[in-house]
Amino acid sequence: MWNEYFTLINVLPGRIVTPRFGTLDFSDPSLPVEKVQALFEDDFPYLQITPLGMEALYPVPPLAKLPSKRVETPTLARKPVKLKA
């Protein structure tokens, strides 16, 4: 399940000693996503998030549409300029 959201980089899947959870077996597909996500947020160097993981775990809320305020600049009245012949 966690393989859909994260990939291992620079190491082969297997047992890896982590600073937060001790030894974890990354070849086990049933490893809880919450643990892998916590390691990712702790900047664990061997994890990279996939595009699907980015969408599912860190969704970006749509930007709220703010009312448009158009600022009109006043046009200055000019006197006509006559060219000398």
Digit-coded pLDDT (tens) for 3-53: 999 999 999 999 999 999 999 999 999 999 999 999 999 999 999 999 999
Q: Which domain holds residue 15?
A: 2-57
Matching residue, tokens 């980089």? 9
Length of the chain: 85
CA dist list (Å): 53 to 33, 36, 37, 62: 10, 11, 9, 18
Do the Cβ atoms of 33 and 61 come closer than 8 Å? no
Domain membership of residue 11 (yes or no) is yes
- How many domains, in total, are found in the chain? 1
CA dist list (Å): 20 to 41, 51, 57, 59: 11, 25, 20, 25
The residue ranking higher by pLDDT, 2 or 79, is 2
Domain membership of residue 65 (yes or no) is no
Q: Residue 66: is its pLDDT beyond 70?
A: no
Domain membership of residue 18 (yes or no) is yes
Domain membership of residue 75 (yes or no) is no
Paired tokens of 64: 């709220």
Question: What confidence score (pLDDT) does residue 29 get?
Answer: 92
